[in-house]
Structure 1
Amino acid sequence: MSLLALDSRWRRLHDPDWVSPKSGRSFGGLIDIGYDHPDPWPHGDLQGSGQEILEIGEDKLSADLCRCDGLRFVRAMLALPIRGSDEAVQFAVWAHLADADFYRYLDDATGETPGFEGCAAWLMNDIPDYESETPLEGALIAGGAQERPRLSLNDGPLAEAQKAGITFDALLDLYAATGNDIRPDL
């Protein structure tokens, strides 16, 4: 049994049969957070466009790949473990790769040249409470078949949160800061 099982908010978050009397919402577990595009992308949301691929001049955005101002990005998962549990909240973020690494990743993903194991990468989305003036450096780690790669940061507060985890209250604050304040429902 996890320590968080003692927290009634944690139990309600994980109980698919529990319905909030305030909003009628139920959750059934952690809510992952996704970013539609890398922060430098200036052309609006892919999801709101109604298209599978959004192309503006030389810039191009799909659900997993992006080219913007000559830079190349891939969608990756960044996990923050929740202290007192064996779970982690997953962020679907964008990572910038050097051109050669991007093409090696793409060749592996399409099956043309398998064997991509990872490369240097830079986080291109600001996570609330972990914002940075410059992109955070890390490593892109290849995922399994049909899985997005993972992003592991090298240093700084967000890298420390990846290693040590965050509290449940910090998670609720992150949800609120990303537009999904569930605190009143728990």
Structure 2
Amino acid sequence: MTSILDLDPRWRALQDMGGVMDIGFDHPSAWPHGERGDQPFVKLGDDQLASELCRFGEDRFICATLALPIRGSDEHVVFALWVKVPNEGFYAYIETFDGAASPAPFDGKLSSDLGPLANLGAKVSLEFNDTSTRPTATLAQGATDISLDDLIDLYEATGTLSRDDLSKS
């Protein structure tokens, strides 16, 4: 299906590169110890970081997915982002790995920098599907969709893609 974005050379270049790329955050913004990288687990003192969970000091974080439609197209970009959650929610989620039922939805605070889309600390609602998928995040305030310009800005900020990559013919 043709979209209005098909008229934008940056969109066409992105499509030529394989299409919309999802954006993942290695760790919560509050994590001071650097990237986890290829390591499955990082432990520094009492602080711990894995691909789905993080404990830093008294704070607990869960990695969740947020899907936003891209204005002018039928496509979505999916973010793997971090949400600071209450301790009770964190431990209820951990229990699902041992077969417990998924917890009821609860709120947390955004802990990944989404630039113009939402402020750090913005309220995020988490919904839990099953243990084979990450929780689904919904921003309580902030973007409900994303512009191509904002997407490109986030690609640059996260090192996913350079704006210059989209201007090459």
Q: TM-score band, normalised by the shorter chain? A: 0.7 to 0.9
Pair 1:78–1:106, CA change in 2 (3 A)? same
Aligned residue in 2 for 1:11? 12
Aligned residue in 1 for 2:133? 147
Give the letter aligned to residue 104 of structure 1. A
d(CA) in 1 for partners of 2:125, 2:107: 5
Aligned residue in 2 for 1:42? 32
Matches for 1:53-132 after TM superposition, within 5 Å: 53-108=41-96, 110-130=97-117, 132=119
d(CA) in 2 for partners of 1:92, 1:9: 24
d(CA) in 1 for partners of 2:14, 2:34: 32
Asked if the contact 2:108–2:123 (Cα under 8 Å) also holds between the matched residues in 1, the reply is yes
Find the structure with the greater CA-based Rg: 1
Q: How high is the TM-score relative to the length of structure 1?
A: 0.79
Q: Residue 104 of structure 1: SS of its match in structure 2?
A: helix
Give the letter aligned to residue 42 of structure 1. P
Aligned residue in 2 for 1:171? 151
Aligned pair count reads 165
What stretches of structure 2 of length at least 5 have no aligned partner?
none
Aligned residue in 1 for 2:40? 52
Give the letter aligned to residue 41 of structure 2. I
Q: Residue 33 of structure 2: SS of its match in structure 1?
A: coil
d(CA) in 2 for partners of 1:168, 1:36: 23
d(CA) in 1 for partners of 2:90, 2:45: 20
Q: How high is the TM-score relative to the length of structure 2?
A: 0.86
Q: State the shift of 1:67 in Å.
A: 0.6
Q: Residue 113 of structure 1: SS of its match in structure 2?
A: coil
Q: State the shift of 1:91 in Å.
A: 1.6
RMSD: 2.0
Asked if the contact 1:128–1:178 (Cα under 8 Å) also holds between the matched residues in 2, the reply is no
d(CA) in 2 for partners of 1:94, 1:181: 21
Q: Residue 46 of structure 1: SS of its match in structure 2?
A: coil
Give the letter aligned to residue 13 of structure 2. R
Asked if the contact 2:71–2:146 (Cα under 8 Å) also holds between the matched residues in 1, the reply is yes
Give the letter aligned to residue 51 of structure 1. Q
Q: State the shift of 1:181 in Å.
A: 4.3
What stretches of structure 1 of length at least 5 have no aligned partner?
16-26
Q: State the shift of 1:144 in Å.
A: 4.3
Asked if the contact 2:102–2:131 (Cα under 8 Å) also holds between the matched residues in 1, the reply is no
